[in-house]
Structure 1
Amino acid sequence: MGNETLELEPDRLSITTLQLEAQVPPPAPDEIPNGGLTAWLQVLGSFILFFNTWGIVNTFGTFQTYYSLNLPQSDSDIAWIGSIAAFLLLLVGIGAGPLYDAGYFKQLLLFGSFFVVFGMMMTSIATQYWQFMLSQGICMGLGNGLLFVPSVAIVSQWFTTRKAFATGIAAAGSSLGGVIYPIIFHKLQPKIGFGWTTRVIAFIMFALLCISSSVMRVRSQPKAARALLDLSAFQDSAFLLFSGAMFFGFVGLYTPFFYIQVYALEKGVDPNFAFYLLSLLNVGSIFGRIIPNRLADHIGPLNVIIPGTIITAILAFGWIGIVSTPSLIIFALLYGFFSGSYVSVPPTVLMVISPDLKVVGTRMGMCFAIGGCGLLIGTPIAGLLITKYGFIAAITFSAAAVLAAFVLMVGTRVSRVGWVVKSIE
């Protein structure tokens, strides 16, 4: 009997343990905060990353004008420097995405910041075309690409209900960078020269990027690494149409950002004021990143970016007849506003049109790589058209490309929800 009792006691103990475990409530899920100091610090850090990546891309028109006046190369050749930097910003993201998923967030920040600052420092001592290409085009482009994925991905870890709005605030950093850096260049370059002006910009970038590294935190790691390609995307008509829209949109979108200062000088605008047109473009773009994203949270991202695209195309065609200074000011502000959604809204669109959130990261990298090809060729082609046929040909080409993007975006929406007007897609 004693032995039987001893044999039964472990079973009774196990049953009692299971009953106690069943009574313990499961741990509360780790809810996304959608606010709070730490969450908004991530937006600040992302804002700074945009400020020093896309912000430098948006500033290239100032460098384009300076190089056109001081280098023997054509406008088209010079535009390759900025277009390669912008292309690499989007292309490198394909490889940076899996690294981010694997837990290398801090390493991406460190190496991205190094390449961006080092590239700007090397630009300050460059004197020949190939040196500018290596430093400002390739080195800074690689750094931009490493920083771009963290700048986009980190916000979605801390916001859900206000994700588009928070992303828009972060993306506004690119426009503010495009406002401040051209003014710094214009004010300092005549006084301290190109070299030291560029080094001052590099020092500012270094200080700001240190802030991002200090405040940005990964809230959670993905359970699985992100694949480089999602082959099923090539059978998804909505994805293909939207990727085509991104390609054509980026082909035409940045022509004013690269050439508006050169255009203004050709039309006899006061040189001291012509340099501010690029800043005005980016002033409009600040609001064009925040307001559309706020609307996208309520009416859907496609319903925001489609009207913005057609208005951008109309404004681009209207640029042909603009010659006076007041008209250029109005054009710069309006074009900056309505084109502003091209950087901030597409990630939200891809979340909407993707069949599974597990493939959003991969598809985002694929789509931006396709759009990057448009960035790569768009402004050099416009520069070639300016050299051979004048600004009217370049403006018409760019406006037609944006119009094609509008048609493809409408196709994206139709393939997703049909011709239904009332939809939040």
Structure 2
Amino acid sequence: MGSPFCGILVDKIGPNIPLCVGSLGLELALFMTSLCTQYWQLMLAQALLLGLSMSLVCCPPLGVVSRHMPHRRGLALGLTIGGSSIGGVIWPIMMQQLLVHHGISFGWTMRAVAFKMSPLLAFACLTVVEPLEQPSRAPSGTAHVTSHVTQQQPIEEAEQKKMEDAAADGESKKADLSFLWKPTYILLCLGLAVIYFGLFTPLFYVSAYAIDKGQSLSTAFYLLSAVNASSFFGRVGPGHFADTYGHYNLLIIFTLLSGIVGFTWTRATSLGGMIVWSLAYGFTSGAVMSLQNACAGKIAPLRSQGAAVGFLMGCLSITALIGVPIGGQILKHSGYPALSMWTGATIVVGAAVLGVARFTLDPHLFAVF
């Protein structure tokens, strides 16, 4: 929930200070977590300090990369956020090996994570910088509109181009938050917030589902790694094609596919079926997580890319927080089939809202947005 504040901060003072402060906060949170012996201490170190620090670390790269490459925003942001998918494969395996197979204590395992993160965070602090010159064009995808539709550019796109050109020419030095009141942005946040009620549910329960179906603890654990591994390709590949065929168009398509895969969760009962399902869900849900940032940045001026991403993440943090516990109660009272329905239904309903957001930009079905 600290992301909106961080996004505005990135637009006003640049990425370096928030990223450095967030990196120090992450390190401190992990080292303090290694010393915790009571629940309230974990709440302070792991929940409060780590969560706030994560918002300071996540927003600067997304906002700055979007400013660097507005022409290839989908691919650039897909590669940027795809890093978390790689981390989602490496970190759980590393921690399981330390904790379970080598018998390392919890405290030293957390310290090992902190030491491993130090050079990675230092590299990010040194390399995430603002572009020397602001790109002088409107968002990606606009150049392709004329080849697909004959109608004039929507008012929203024309307004954005004007704002971005002004920013590129140095005429605007302050973050412009007028995009927050655009119907497209409001519907985008609303639709994705509904999606996040159920989007993370399989990530928390896919291993437990595999154990419930008779798989070993070790095998069930690696299903989550399979989800994260395929999520990398889902974040990068669709982002590349979205730069040509429209970020909103691809976001809606992959959101619907993710909802369909969610509905089929409990039809995967064998190990092979669960592996295929995990790969499919990781790919489609990864595309959703990647393209959401490109869609937010598409309707905001270049000087406000950090705020556009930050306010979106702030909205999603609320439903992502309460969605998984709701899923847990559904599982407790109604079992995995109902949990599968919850996952699929929330994603499909959110996709419908995203469709409305897309048609506020252009009512023509085959327009590139």
Q: TM-score, normalised on structure 2?
A: 0.83
Residue 113 of structure 1 aligns with which residue?
A: 23
Is the aligned partner of 1:193 residue 2:105?
yes
Residue 173 of structure 2 aligns with which residue?
A: 224
1:194–1:392 Cα change, 3 Å: farther
Residue 239 of structure 1 aligns with which residue?
A: 185
Residue 137 of structure 1 aligns with which residue?
A: 47
Q: Per-residue displacement from partner, 1:46-102 (whole Å, max 9, x unpaired)?
A: xxxxxxxxxxxxxxxxxxxxxxxxxxxxxxxxxxxxxxxxxxxxx212111222223
Q: Per-residue displacement from partner, 1:165-193 (whole Å, max 9, x unpaired)?
A: 12211111010010101110121112113
Q: Per-residue displacement from partner, 1:216-247 (whole Å, max 9, x unpaired)?
A: 322359743336x54x744x332222111110
2:211 aligned to 240, 265, 270, which one? Answer: 265
1:359–1:157 Cα change, 3 Å: closer
CA distance in 1, matches of 2:38, 2:214: 29
Is the aligned partner of 1:280 residue 2:226?
yes
CA distance in 2, matches of 1:299, 1:112: 35
Is the aligned partner of 1:382 residue 2:332?
no
1:308 aligned to 254, 258, 268, which one? Answer: 254
Q: Per-residue displacement from partner, 1:318-355 (whole Å, max 9, x unpaired)?
A: 0122222111111111100011122221222123345x
Residue 333 of structure 1 aligns with which residue?
A: 279
Q: How many residues align?
A: 330
Q: Per-residue displacement from partner, 1:226-281 (whole Å, max 9, x unpaired)?
A: 36x54x744x3322221111101111100111121222222221111111111100
- 1:23-422 alignment runs, 5 A limit: 91-190=1-100, 191=102, 192-220=104-132, 223-226=172-175, 230=178, 233-234=180-181, 236-354=182-300, 361-418=306-363, 420-422=364-366
Residue 109 of structure 2 aligns with an amino acid whose one-letter code is T
The answer to whether the Cα contact below 8 Å between 2:74 and 2:242 also exists between their aligned partners in 1 is yes
The answer to whether the Cα contact below 8 Å between 2:7 and 2:308 also exists between their aligned partners in 1 is no
The answer to whether the Cα contact below 8 Å between 1:155 and 1:166 also exists between their aligned partners in 2 is yes
| Partner-residue secondary structure (3-state), 1:212 | helix
| Partner-residue secondary structure (3-state), 2:196 | helix
1:412–1:325 Cα change, 3 Å: same
Q: Per-residue displacement from partner, 1:12-34 (whole Å, max 9, x unpaired)?
A: xxxxxxxxxxxxxxxxxxxxxxx
Q: How much identity, in percent, do the aligned residues show?
A: 32
| Partner-residue secondary structure (3-state), 2:175 | coil
Residue 101 of structure 1 aligns with an amino acid whose one-letter code is D
Stretch of structure 1 that moved more, 263-272 or 248-257: 263-272
CA distance in 2, matches of 1:342, 1:162: 17
Stretch of structure 1 that moved more, 104-113 or 203-212: 104-113
| Partner-residue secondary structure (3-state), 1:335 | helix
CA distance in 2, matches of 1:126, 1:315: 39
Residue 95 of structure 2 aligns with an amino acid whose one-letter code is F
CA distance in 1, matches of 2:205, 2:42: 18
Instruction: Return the offset for 1:376.
Output: 1.5
CA distance in 2, matches of 1:132, 1:330: 36
The answer to whether the Cα contact below 8 Å between 1:281 and 1:332 also exists between their aligned partners in 2 is yes
Stretch of structure 1 that moved more, 334-343 or 189-198: 189-198
| Partner-residue secondary structure (3-state), 1:253 | coil
| Partner-residue secondary structure (3-state), 1:334 | helix
Residue 199 of structure 2 aligns with an amino acid whose one-letter code is L
Q: Please tell me whether Structure 1 or Structure 2 has the larger radius of gyration of its CA atoms.
A: 1
Find runs of 4+ consecutive structure 1 residues off by over 6 angstroms: none
Instruction: Return the offset for 1:314.
Output: 0.8
Stretch of structure 1 that moved more, 105-114 or 236-245: 236-245
1:194–1:359 Cα change, 3 Å: closer
1:112–1:153 Cα change, 3 Å: same
Query: Structure 1 unaligned runs (5+)?
Result: 1-90
The answer to whether the Cα contact below 8 Å between 2:195 and 2:350 also exists between their aligned partners in 1 is yes
The answer to whether the Cα contact below 8 Å between 1:186 and 1:275 also exists between their aligned partners in 2 is no
Instruction: Return the offset for 1:357.
Output: 5.1
CA distance in 1, matches of 2:28, 2:51: 11
1:415–1:157 Cα change, 3 Å: closer
The answer to whether the Cα contact below 8 Å between 1:277 and 1:332 also exists between their aligned partners in 2 is yes
The answer to whether the Cα contact below 8 Å between 1:242 and 1:408 also exists between their aligned partners in 2 is yes
Stretch of structure 1 that moved more, 206-215 or 276-285: 206-215
Instruction: Return the offset for 1:389.
Output: 3.0
Q: TM-score, normalised on structure 1?
A: 0.73
The answer to whether the Cα contact below 8 Å between 1:322 and 1:328 also exists between their aligned partners in 2 is yes
CA distance in 2, matches of 1:160, 1:357: 8
1:403–1:139 Cα change, 3 Å: same
Cα RMSD, aligned residues only = 2.1
1:340–1:116 Cα change, 3 Å: same
The higher-RCO structure (CA 8 Å, 6+ apart) is: 2
